[in-house]
């Protein structure tokens, strides 16, 4: 057996074998291996609950794969809302003919990423569809987290607040696009795809004036800042010079006509914090290897119409629009 067949999805003997030999070999949580229709769990009274579908192409890319991406995405969605990731479900939709070795590699990658943050994979599902009816494999995950900090919200931004990023902008998007377009680039650019709980936990515990956090995936930094500006009805100003962007990402953007601020990250967090705690937030981020490129990139300047203004190095100002149009399908 080297390839997935339709029989693997029929709910009978072959499905059972696939579950035992591929999934349960890596996902060994006792709640999952029970194989009932639902996982029975003891949870805190207040939880965060999130879901995300992953369709990235190519499935394996520099710095990660669809499995690492799916677990990281779930961890980060929970963490930015103030919750410690505890449980996760995984649902696979697989194309007939998909190589079994690739599936095993994805499953192993999910297991390793989940273990990194002590996240338990407790529920799952697998569907197989005939060749040509899905491209390779799509994964949908849902996560449950324990809410450690209430009150973070896109609506919290106030004039004077500072905006930080925990790392360079657009690494994931630029990596995937470069691989897809066959662009040769220095081998040191790779996706930032990573679970950020360890980076975010100290912010939740030590910052009194933490307003909001968001991981800038689809739509990038520009989408996050525009959503915040809109939700809080404030004007945000960002210094273009202060936004950390890798040279390779800048190069790919220039070649293909993208803005770095529109490209996805999958292991970076945007933070809004009160003025007095900007430096503290920066220190907390930079202490962690995943936050070594952190920077304060802008601030909330006034109440009023929600918009984001980019100040260029030449002193000019322009509106930083949210991305629109057919930007980058299958980036995550």
Query: Which parts of 110-129 interact with its own copies (CB under 8 A)?
Result: 122-129
Q: Is 24 or 185 the residue whose CB approaches its own copies more closely? A: 24
CB of 146 to its own copies, least distance (A): 11
| Residue 175 interacting with its own copies (CB under 8 A) | no
What CA–CA distances, in Å, run from 223 to 35, 92, 198, 219, 261?
A: 40, 28, 24, 5, 8
Q: In what order do the strands lie in the sheet with 120-129?
A: 120-129, 83-95, 137-147
CB of 320 to its own copies, least distance (A): 12
| Residue 330 interacting with its own copies (CB under 8 A) | yes
Q: How many CB atoms lie within 10 A of CB 98?
A: 22
| Residue 1 interacting with its own copies (CB under 8 A) | no
Choosing from 63, 143, 167, 291, the residue that interacts with its own copies (CB under 8 A) is: 143
Minimal CA–CA distance to 196: which of 57, 84, 33? 84
Q: Is 131 or 287 the residue whose CB approaches its own copies more closely? A: 131
Choosing from 112, 135, 283, 317, the residue that interacts with its own copies (CB under 8 A) is: 135
Choosing from 2, 30, 40, 315, the residue that interacts with its own copies (CB under 8 A) is: 40
| Residue 77 interacting with its own copies (CB under 8 A) | yes
| Residue 36 interacting with its own copies (CB under 8 A) | yes
Helices 278-287 and 197-206: angle between axes, nearest 10 degrees = 150
Q: Which stretch binds its own copies (CB under 8 A): 63-71, 78-86, 177-185, 289-297?
A: 78-86
68 touches 110 (CB < 8 A): yes
CB of 315 to its own copies, least distance (A): 28
Per-position b or e across 48-58, b if 16+ CB within 10 A of its CB:
bebebebbbee
Rounded-to-integer distance, Cα 95 and Cα 106, Å? 14
CB of 48 to its own copies, least distance (A): 4
Residues in the chain, how many?
Answer: 332
| Residue 99 interacting with its own copies (CB under 8 A) | no
| Residue 49 interacting with its own copies (CB under 8 A) | yes
Within 266-325, which residues bind its own copies (CB under 8 A)?
322-325
CB of 94 to its own copies, least distance (A): 10
CB of 62 to its own copies, least distance (A): 22
Task: Indicate the burial class of 151 (C-beta count within 10 angstroms; 0-12, 13-18, 19 or more).
Answer: exposed
Q: Is 65 or 215 the residue whose CB approaches its own copies more closely? A: 215
Within 14-33, which residues bind its own copies (CB under 8 A)?
14-16
SS3 29: coil
Within 213-272, which residues bind its own copies (CB under 8 A)?
214-215, 217-220, 223, 227, 262, 264
Residues 6+ apart with CB under 8 A from 16: none
Q: Is 108 or 149 the residue whose CB approaches its own copies more closely? A: 149
**Cis ω before 293 (30° cut-off from 0):** no
Q: Which stretch binds its own copies (CB under 8 A): 22-30, 42-50, 186-194, 290-298?
A: 42-50
- For the record, the structure tokens of 214 come out as 């968001």
Minimal CA–CA distance to 295: which of 199, 167, 118, 147? 167
DSSP for residue 322: P
Choosing from 45, 182, 188, 313, the residue that interacts with its own copies (CB under 8 A) is: 45
Size of the site for its own copies (CB under 8 A): 91
């Amino acid at each position: 057996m080297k390839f997935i067949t339709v029989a693997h999805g029929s709910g009978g003997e072959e499905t059972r074998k696939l579950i035992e030999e591929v999934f349960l070999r890596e996902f060994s949580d006792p709640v999952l291996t029970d194989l009932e229709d639902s996982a029975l769990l003891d949870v805190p009274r207040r939880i965060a609950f999130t879901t995300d579908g992953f369709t990235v192409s190519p499935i394996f890319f520099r710095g990660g794969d669809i499995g690492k991406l799916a677990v990281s995405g779930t961890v980060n969605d929970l963490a930015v809302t103030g919750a410690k990731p505890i449980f996760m479900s995984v649902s696979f939709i697989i194309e007939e003919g998909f190589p079994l070795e690739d599936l095993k590699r994805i499953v192993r990658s999910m297991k390793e990423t989940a273990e990194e943050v002590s996240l338990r994979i407790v529920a799952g599902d697998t569907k197989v569809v005939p060749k040509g009816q899905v491209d390779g494999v799509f994964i949908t995950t849902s996560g449950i987290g324990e809410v450690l900090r209430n009150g973070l919200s896109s609506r919290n931004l106030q004039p004077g607040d500072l905006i930080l990023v925990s790392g360079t902008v657009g690494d994931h998007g630029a990596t995937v696009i470069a691989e897809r377009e066959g662009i040769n680039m220095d081998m040191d650019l790779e996706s930032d795809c990573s679970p950020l709980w360890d980076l975010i936990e100290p912010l939740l515990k030590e910052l009194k004036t933490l307003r909001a956090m968001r991981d800038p995936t689809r739509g990038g930094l520009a989408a996050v800042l525009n959503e915040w500006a809109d939700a809080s009805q404030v004007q945000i100003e960002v210094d273009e010079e202060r936004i950390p962007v890798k040279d390779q990402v800048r190069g790919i953007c220039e070649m293909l006509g993208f803005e770095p601020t529109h490209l996805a990250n999958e292991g970076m967090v945007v933070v809004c914090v009160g003025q007095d705690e900007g430096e503290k937030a920066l220190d907390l981020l930079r202490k962690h290897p995943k936050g070594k490129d952190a920077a304060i990139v802008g601030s909330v300047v006034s109440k009023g119409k929600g918009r984001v203004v980019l100040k260029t190095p030449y002193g000019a100002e322009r509106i930083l629009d949210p991305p629109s149009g057919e930007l980058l399908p299958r980036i995550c």
